Amino acid sequence: MYLNLIQIAESFGVSEKVVEGWIRNEGLPNTPDRGRLLFDRAQVTQWAAERGLAARVGFLAPEESALTPHLRLGPLLRAGRIWRDVLAADVPVFFERIVTALPGATPPVRQLLGQRVRARGGVTMAPVGGGFALPHPSARITLGRDSGTVALLLLSDDLVLPEPPTDGVPVRRLFFFIAPSPRGHLDLLARLSRSLVPGPLRELVEKSAPDEAIFQAVEAADAGAADAPKPEAKP
């Protein structure tokens, strides 16, 4: 299967100029064809694997995603940390800092994600009401089951969003997350949303409780989710 320059750029979440630079400087395999460049998918996947960039997104992503039962909020939040007294203007800097420490990812992958979160429109802010938002990378990502992170940012001032929250409550609490796969992304988004309904975890975050208290509340939510009865399979 052959892909064109635009598809390759979209797959890696970079500009076409970056791909052209990879061709010149990194030996990205390509085939000239009547004034355009074509890329063999298998060759590009092998090239990317050698640089820690395999199975990134889009056309190069594997069909099977990480198994969502392995996604637990507690370990992800401990990895991403709780960041306090963050200025709203510095939020993009903290996003990039969190990405550069992403567990289970190689330096090239971290650099790639850093470029994404810095880019205009690279992060979807996703306000969910009550002063909370669930920001995450806008583009589809496939990292592998051992990667992913959740970070809690407690802001010292109001975050200005392109569109104000529908409930009118200024956003000051961000659960920034990166899931290991598109399937995991949806699962993690749902779990974080459920965790922010009125209850112990939300109250602790609103009160800026100590880190360990918040960690334990998240881990208790994990345990509750694991113990919840599973729906019976239909015959």
Contact 218, 73 (CB under 8 A): yes
How does DSSP classify residue 209?
A: -
Q: Which CATH architecture fits 2-60?
A: Orthogonal Bundle (1.10)
- Residue ranges covered by each domain of the chain: 2-60, 68-226
Give the pLDDT confidence of 105-148 residue by residue, as tens digits: 888 888 888 888 888 888 988 888 899 999 988 876 777 766 88
Q: Are 184 and 65 in contact (CB under 8 A)?
A: yes
How does strand 132-133 pair with strand 31-33?
unpaired
- The pTM of this model reads 0.69
Common-topology check for domains 2-60 and 68-226? no
What's the burial of 154, exposed, middle or buried (CB within 10 Å: 0-12/13-18/19+)?
A: middle
Over residues 170-196, the pLDDT tens digits come to 999 999 999 887 777 878 888 888 888
Q: Is 10 left (phi over 0), alpha (psi -120 to 50) or beta?
A: alpha
Domain 68-226: CATH superfamily, name plus number = Mannitol-specific EII; Chain A (3.40.930.10)
